[in-house]
Amino acid sequence: MTATIGETTVLTATITTSEETEVNTGRVYFKVNGKILRDTDTGRILYADVTDGTATLDYQVPKTWNEETTIEAVFSGNDELPQVTSNTVNPTIATPETHEAEFAVADVTDTAGSEVTITVTTKNLDDGKVVLKVNGKTVKVDDGKLYAKVTGDLVIFTYTVPKTLKAGDYVIKVVYTSGATKLGVEGRLVVV
């Protein structure tokens, strides 16, 4: 059995008799690390009904599960069969894919008086705002605002290099904000 942290997994118990007859009544509950699984809101035991010899329970895998985790199924019994506990199983635990945020600004080289495109990478950053400053001055976006809304993996700014800038390196500073999250990166504008 493989279970992924934070995702729903299906716990399955197969109930058979020594005569291989199909079991269609009774319930199963599961124990993880010796503790019975319960509803987090009500505290009630989570039962799975037996149908066609199988009982299944959808369960959200908590962060506490690891390779040491043990799972047992307990058949509560019925009119014909006594209570029975399964063998212990150690699930294989997988961690979900993380989509790390990527926030960067590309360096730019051009001459004074030219129009340059400054590209800001905002991969896996949604619903925030980006402010761009070149040599300490905020660059307005096309609609005249002092920030650009993040809507994809890239935010593009068009900047006219002032004719008064002498050859050299100038700081490009970019700040991303969304709620309490604030990220900052720097790049450089090289005027040749």
Please determine, for residue 8, whether its predicted confidence score (pLDDT) is greater than 80.
Answer: yes
Q: How far is CA 48 from CA 20, 29, 59, 77, 81, in A?
A: 21, 6, 11, 13, 17
CATH of region 102-191: 2.60.40.10
* Cβ atoms < 10 Å from Cβ of 111: 12
User: Would you state the pLDDT for residue 151?
Assistant: 87
pTM over 0.75: no
Task: Using only the alpha carbons of the chain, give its radius of gyration.
Answer: 30
Contacts of residue 15, Cβ cutoff 8 Å, sequence gap at least 6: 23, 26, 28, 50, 53, 54, 55, 75, 81, 84
Please determine, for residue 127, whether its predicted confidence score (pLDDT) is greater than 90.
Answer: no
Q: How far is CA 106 from CA 155, 157, 160, in A?
A: 11, 11, 16
Torsion of CA 80, 85, 86, 91, to 10 degrees: 140
CATH of region 2-94: 2.60.40.10
Query: Can 2-94 and 102-191 be said to share one CATH topology?
Result: yes
Q: Give the tens place of pLDDT for each residue, 134-171.
A: 999 999 888 888 999 998 899 999 999 999 999 999 99
Domains in the chain: boundaries: 2-94, 102-191
Q: Is residue 156 a contact partner of residue 118, using CB atoms and an 8 Å limit? A: yes
First-residue to last-residue Cα distance in the chain: 61
**Residue for token pair 């109930």:** 15
Q: Give the tens place of pLDDT for each residue, 34-71.
A: 999 999 889 999 999 999 999 999 999 998 999 899 99
Beta bridge pairs of residue 182: 177
